[in-house]
Amino acid sequence: MTWVFLSLLSAFSLASADALSKRFFSDLSAYEMGLIRLLYVFPWLIAACFFIPWTKPDTVFFLCLVVGLPLEALAFYGYMQALKEAPLSLSLPFLAFTPAFIVLTGWMLLGETVSLTGLLGIFLIVAGSYCLNIFSIAQGYLAPFKAIFKARGSRTMLLVSFIYSLTAPIGKLGILHSNPYVFGVIYYTSFILCMAAFLPFSPGTKVENLNMRPMKALILGAVVAVSIFSHWVAISQVQAAYMIALKRTSLLFGVLYGAFWFKEEKIRERLIGAGLMLIGVFCIGWLG
């Protein structure tokens, strides 16, 4: 059951990277904040090239890069924007919608059947999102749902979750036409280069900001690298749905970071909401 430990490690390190990004770099723009996170993980990716089992990618692999990278860039920018603007306990839980969106898009576009446990999972995710803002119920029974779309951070993370529901199958296809390690190194390295290419076209970005806190950035890069590497190894050992479901425990870790490190408010409601959403993810990933 090595994949269980690695999936939990990936979840914890992902939540830790989000907390570090928000703690030390949220005074920068969303683009600068994200670019620091990417640039300082780059040396770890280069080092990994000497240890991974290589295989020759085919045409489908490179097609996955061409289609997936623009979507990944859009999702990543939105992710950083949400981390910058919203409390962790009110933004990260919305990533639970990714498997729900995958179930719905599979049903609408591919005619795939939805099991009862899958429907239950979707219901629990929606119910959990309601609980995140349940303190606003005094303004009306629909107020908790309306609060999602009023808060820019929550709204943005919901869009990010939808985009990830599109990139997930693209990534899986890329892995099938290479291997998890080769896909991870090439895909993530290409992604970093694509994001860095926008630097000359970002007038508000200052190059000196990217190197203003090097020690903290190095720590952030190392934590991101742990999340990436543990993700690759775990997903190569078990069905992707199981691994992703367990990795979504990052939602709870994120809420706890929000409570203890950022002293965010209304943690009890958000912890209950995130818990329901996580149970919903397990219903879809493990039982659906």
Closest CA to 11 of 231, 160, 221, 241: 231
Alpha-carbon distance of 45 to 40, in angstroms, equals 10
Residue 2 is predicted with a pLDDT of 86
Q: At what angle do helices 30-39 and 2-25 cross, to 10 degrees?
A: 130
Residue 112 is predicted with a pLDDT of 63
Residue 110 is predicted with a pLDDT of 56
pLDDT at 108 over 80: no
Least confident of 95-109, 155-169, 185-199: 95-109
Q: At what angle do helices 250-260 and 2-25 cross, to 10 degrees?
A: 40
Q: What is the DSSP letter of 114?
A: -
Q: Count Cα atoms within 13 angstroms, Cβ side, for 29.
A: 13
Alpha-carbon distance of 156 to 153, in angstroms, equals 5
Q: Count Cα atoms within 13 angstroms, Cβ side, for 73.
A: 16
